């Protein structure tokens, strides 16, 4: 029976969903949203705060400041509340209302950037705001998830070993790429312990993480407009870029099976479907995808019909009568969607 004293101590580390009924081939989804922060970001938040405390750079009475599109902001809000710090989250207009409200209820101050930087987009504008806040307030401490080794160390120490324990014969691992902390931590772990595992980074179309063309992205979570410093391509064997409409379709296919999961999860699953169809059509392998978040915070976006039509066009919800199993395979490669609504 687990007994904890702080919310960040609780973590469901061994929950995997077998997606063969939905997907038509072996694929296991490691669900990371069952903690008090609702996403995998709680691991990185806890480690970055703890490592800063150990180093003496974060001290009692200081204020934590960070740029986040939502999930990490919620996680830091929770850790800051339990550790007695003030927290200022700089986010942008894509952050869901549910995430903003939750951060505020946890005691955080939320600042919303609405005008993008001319070259580096909304993330660039957020980072400029963080820089100004730190320059104006000497007691502000920026965790800097984009360069902080604690971001990937958390997953090197936990997420990677948990997957290896559950699937010692793992062939391929699919990991979403946002700030790339989860990706780098898992990739580094498997490079050292089982280099035969293929690491596939899944990113959103419009993200620059892997050299893609910058573009508008409306679903917060995966992808960036400024390449993270902690990203090292040499640890990644292959990459997949997923259009946002495919993220929506994958999320809704999961929902029809009773799984309410987040936008980042939909992106990862869609990327996994596309990669497996192109590279392992026979399906004779053990594949795991990491589901970073749950779906409640996306009820007003990904799961809201009017929002989907407004953002992706009036035909975005066509073919809604196709079943999840039919939508899952075979999965074409190229511009055609691997999921149908």
Other Cβ atoms closer than 10 A to 305: 12
Q: Is the bond preceding 31 in cis, omega lying within 30 degrees of 0?
A: no
CA 86 to chain centre: 24
Domain 41-142 = CATH 3.40.50.1100: yes
CA distance 36 to 106: 12
The domain limits of the chain are: 7-38+149-328, 41-142
Is the torsion defined by CA of 258, 262, 266, 272 positive or negative? negative
CATH number for the segment(s) 7-38+149-328: 3.40.50.1100
Q: Of 210, 251, 186, 208, which Cα lies nearest the Cα of 43?
A: 186
Rounded Cα gap, residues 67 and 84, in angstroms:
20
pTM score: 0.90
**Do 7-38+149-328 and 41-142 fold alike per CATH?**
yes
Q: Can you give the pLDDT of all 341 residues of the chain as single tens digits? A: 678 888 888 888 889 999 988 877 789 999 999 999 999 999 999 999 999 999 999 999 999 999 998 999 999 999 999 999 999 999 998 888 989 999 999 999 999 999 888 888 888 899 999 999 999 999 999 999 999 999 999 999 999 999 999 999 999 999 999 999 999 999 999 999 999 999 999 999 999 999 888 888 889 878 888 899 999 999 999 999 999 999 999 999 999 999 999 999 999 999 999 999 999 887 689 999 999 999 999 999 999 999 999 999 988 887 543 333 333 343 333 334 444 44
Report the candidate in 275, 245, 277 with the shortest Cα–Cα distance to residue 263.
245
The percent helix, strand, coil of the chain (3-state, each to 5) is 40, 15, 45
């Amino acid at each position: 029976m687990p007994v904890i004293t702080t919310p960040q101590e609780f973590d469901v580390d061994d929950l995997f969903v077998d997606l063969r009924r939905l997907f038509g081939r072996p694929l296991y989804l490691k669900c990371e949203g069952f903690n008090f922060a609702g996403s995998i970001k709680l691991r990185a938040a806890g480690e970055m705060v703890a490592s800063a405390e150990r180093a003496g750079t974060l001290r009692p009475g200081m204020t934590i400041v960070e740029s986040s599109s939502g999930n990490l902001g919620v996680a830091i809000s929770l850790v800051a509340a339990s550790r007695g710090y003030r927290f200022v989250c700089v986010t942008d207009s894509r952050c869901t209302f549910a995430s903003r409200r939750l951060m505020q209820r946890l005691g955080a101050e939320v600042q919303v950037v609405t005008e993008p930087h001319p070259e580096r987009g909304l993330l660039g504008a957020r980072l400029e705001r963080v820089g100004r806040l730190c320059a104006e307030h000497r007691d502000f401490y920026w965790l800097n998830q984009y360069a902080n080794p604690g971001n990937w160390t958390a997953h090197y120490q936990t997420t990677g070993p948990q997957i290896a324990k559950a699937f010692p014969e793992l062939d391929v691992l699919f990991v979403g790429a946002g700030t790339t902390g989860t990706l780098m931590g898992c990739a580094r772990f498997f490079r050292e312990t089982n280099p035969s595992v293929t690491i596939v980074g899944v990113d959103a179309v419009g993200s620059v993480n892997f050299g893609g063309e910058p573009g508008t992205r409306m679903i917060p979570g995966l992808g960036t407009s400024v390449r993270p410093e902690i990203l090292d391509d040499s640890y990644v064997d292959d990459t997949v870029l997923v259009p946002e409409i495919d993220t929506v379709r994958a999320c809704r296919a999961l929902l029809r099976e009773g799984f309410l999961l987040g936008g980042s999860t939909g992106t990862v699953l869609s990327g996994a479907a596309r990669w497996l169809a192109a590279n392992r059509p026979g399906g004779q392998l053990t594949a795991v995808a990491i589901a970073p978040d749950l779906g409640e915070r996306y009820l007003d976006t990904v799961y809201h019909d009017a929002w989907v039509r407004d953002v992706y066009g009036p035909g975005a919800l066509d073919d809604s009568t196709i079943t999840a199993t039919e939508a899952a395979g075979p999965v074409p490669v190229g511009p055609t969607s691997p999921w149908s609504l």
